[in-house]
Copies of this chain bind each other. A is one copy, B any other.
Amino acid sequence: MVSNDRVPQSEFRYARRVQFAETDLAGVVHFSWYFRYLEEAEHAMWREAGLSIAPAGRELGFPRVSASIDFHAPLCFEDVFEVHVRVDAISKRSIRYAHTITRGETRIATGSMTAVCVERLPDMRAVDIPDTILAKLLKP
């Protein structure tokens, strides 16, 4: 579904600390939080490019069509970690991101998520990603 018809350049490193509410009774970060960490990194990459994933008043959205993570080592309370996110592939209507979470030299997790550009109302119809977005997101 996602082709490689452009060569994306964008990548971003996002630093974050584990918060208390993100841990579970096993004493480590609950796995569902990693998906939020990946998303936070993506949105920070958009901001770095001068963009917002959801600017006030705009009727485009970027819902996910797939998300996956492989977990290699746990994160604990107050750990400082880094999410490296890059645009892995892009097509007219979708973007695939690849992510690596690390804590120092330790590889914590690797992820992949694909989002598609849609008109939010009334029915989330897929549309082309605006060129103005691509130009900023895929800066050489």
Q: Which residues, 37 to 67 on A, are CB-close (under 8 Å) to B?
A: 39-40, 43, 47, 52-54, 56, 61, 63-67
Interface assignment of A24: CB less than 8 Å from any CB of chain B: yes
Give the shortest distance, in Å, between A30 (CB) and chain B (any CB).
5
Contact with B along A77-94 (1 / 0, CB 8 A): 110000000000000000
- This chain: how many copies in the complex? 4
Known contacts A52-B78, A68-B69, A77-B54; A61 and B30 CB within 8 A of each other: no
Instruction: Give the contacts of A69-123 with B (CB-CB under 8 A).
Output: 69-71, 74, 76-78, 120
Partner of A66 from B30, B43, B70 at Cβ < 8 Å:
B70
A138 to B66, CA, bound (A): 29
Complex: A71 Cα to B63 Cα, angstroms: 9
Interface core residue of A25, A65, A76 (most chain B CB under 10 Å): A25
Point out residues on A near B: beta carbons under 8 Å: 19-21, 23-28, 30-33, 35-36, 39-40, 43, 47, 52-54, 56, 61, 63-71, 74, 76-78, 120, 124
- Further pairs besides A23-B24, A31-B64, A47-B78: 10, Cβ < 8 Å: A20-B53, A21-B24, A24-B24, A25-B77, A31-B35, A32-B32, A54-B77, A63-B71, A66-B69, A68-B68
